[in-house]
Amino acid sequence: MRLLAAAAFAALAACASQGAPDAPAQYQSLAAPTPAGVATKVGQTSDGQNVTVKKGTKFAVELVGTPTAGFLWRIVEKPGFLEPVGEYGGPTSAAQLEPGYAGGNHWEAFLFDVTGTGEGELRFQQGRAWEEGEDGEGAVYSVYVFAEE
């Protein structure tokens, strides 16, 4: 019996010396994949603020959303001097690059050409396409844009 107890103790000691399994890796946040040539960009922290852009430049609005759950940002108001020329996006965390990762927040970004001068509100609303018409639902983001020569 003592021999059996000693063998069991030795087996447990061998397991304990291997240590605990590795802790999950810490994943870094990823910046939005801003295209080359963007002169001015704003994001969530600029909500409700003023932004000044130059005529003839590119301007980007980079928002974090949850498109995997159907929540998409859309433009609901824009000044005439901002011409939408594209959208881009990407993961917000390096974890989203791992095989099998699903869901999470993503960058949803909008690219504009500044085609003239003036001022006006640029406003976005987040919602699901199949829930259209439910104004006041979902997050809202806006900046007041001044376009100069």
pLDDT for 43-59, tens place per residue? 999 999 999 999 999 99
Residue type, 7: A
Domain 33-148: which topology?
Immunoglobulin-like (2.60.40)
Q: Residue ranges of the domains in the chain?
A: 33-148
Residue 128: both structure tokens together: 């699901």
Q: Is the pLDDT of residue 7 over 60?
A: no
Chain centroid to Cα 100, Å, comes to 19
Which secondary structure element, helix H or strand E, spans residue 3, and what is its range?
Answer: helix 2-17
| Model pLDDT, residue 68 | 85
Q: Is 147 strand, coil or helix?
A: strand
- Burial of residue 105 (CB within 10 Å: 0-12, 13-18, 19+) is middle
The lowest-confidence range among 9-13, 75-79, 110-114 is: 9-13
In the chain, % of residues over pLDDT 90: 62
pLDDT for 18-40, tens place per residue? 544 554 566 899 999 999 999 99
CA distance 138 to 149: 35
pTM: 0.77
